[in-house]
């Protein structure tokens, strides 16, 4: 499989109800297919290594805000104070995130572009990109990591897909059997086509040249990338 450049439906203007249905499906996919586990595994490793009892995090491309909720639940269960800023450019996604995170005072929502985040240098301990970078071209991925490195004091956390034929056919069959939403049925397998292989992810992270890179594969067909920033040392 070669990496696809065909945009996902999510990257283009779509009817409101179609996107809302897709966001509901993505919350289920995130919960049951490893996104939460992958993010929390990487975050826990960084927090525990630094013996942190509080941290701030920027979640770029937050979607409907379910990842920030999972982060807060984990932090609270470990007696850690966390504050999460959730950024997304899509107005419907931000609206859905506001509904999903109602009552969570530790989560701040903002509409904005992941490539031009409205924050100053070293505003957060961590920057997180979950299921976002596969939407970008190779050059955009490198540029985004350099932009986010200016915002984070400690590390960038990347959780994303790994391109593989089994991942493509598996998610295609799963979404066809579980939903009639054409956006989810189209974008889930296309996301795999747009993702990188493990070797390609490693190469792009090293090209960004912003810190020490640790990359590992998580099941099913997911990547966890931790980039410890040079200014953190």
According to the model, what pLDDT value does residue 1 have? 81
Question: Is-contact 225 214, C-beta < 8 A?
Answer: yes
What distance in Å separates the CA atoms of residue 145 and residue 148, rounded to the nearest whole number?
A: 5
According to the model, what pLDDT value does residue 82 have? 98
- pLDDT of 169-178, one tens digit each? 999 999 999 9
According to the model, what pLDDT value does residue 233 have? 42
- pTM here? 0.96
Question: Is-contact 63 99, C-beta < 8 A?
Answer: no
According to the model, what pLDDT value does residue 197 have? 98
Q: In 15-151, at which residue ranges do the beta strands (DSSP E only) sit?
A: 54-60, 81-88, 107-111, 124-130
According to DSSP, the residues that pair with 215 across neighbouring strands are 225
What distance in Å separates the CA atoms of residue 48 and residue 106, rounded to the nearest whole number?
A: 21
CATH of domain 29-164+195-232: 3.40.50.150
Question: Is-contact 138 116, C-beta < 8 A?
Answer: no
Percent of the chain exceeding pLDDT 70 equals 99
Structure tokens at 173: 């069959």
The backbone region for 2, taken as left when phi is positive above 0, alpha when psi lies in -120 to 50, beta otherwise, is beta
- pLDDT of 146-167, one tens digit each? 999 999 999 999 999 999 999 9
């Amino acid at each position: 499989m070669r990496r696809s450049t065909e945009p996902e439906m999510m990257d283009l203007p779509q009817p409101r109800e179609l996107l809302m249905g897709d966001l509901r499906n993505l919350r289920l996919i995130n919960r049951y297919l490893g996104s939460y586990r992958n993010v929390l595994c990487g975050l826990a490793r960084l927090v525990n290594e630094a013996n942190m009892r509080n941290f701030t995090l920027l979640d770029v491309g937050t979607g409907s805000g379910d990842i920030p909720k999972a982060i807060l639940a984990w932090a609270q269960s470990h007696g850690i104070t966390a504050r999460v800023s959730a950024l997304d450019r899509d107005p419907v996604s931000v609206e859905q995130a506001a509904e999903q995170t109602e009552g969570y005072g530790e989560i701040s929502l903002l509409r904005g572009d992941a490539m031009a985040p409205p924050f100053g240098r070293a505003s957060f301990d961590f920057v997180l990109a979950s299921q976002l970078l596969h939407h970008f071209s190779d050059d955009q991925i490198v540029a985004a990591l350099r932009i986010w490195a200016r915002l984070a004091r400690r590390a960038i956390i990347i959780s994303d897909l790994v391109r593989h034929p089994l991942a493509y056919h598996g998610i295609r069959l799963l979404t066809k059997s579980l939903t009639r939403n054409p956006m989810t049925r189209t974008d889930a397998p296309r996301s795999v086509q747009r993702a990188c292989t493990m070797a390609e992810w490693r190469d792009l992270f090293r090209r960004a040249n912003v810190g020490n890179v640790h990359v590992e594969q998580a099941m099913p067909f997911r990547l966890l990338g931790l980039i410890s920033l040079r200014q953190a040392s």
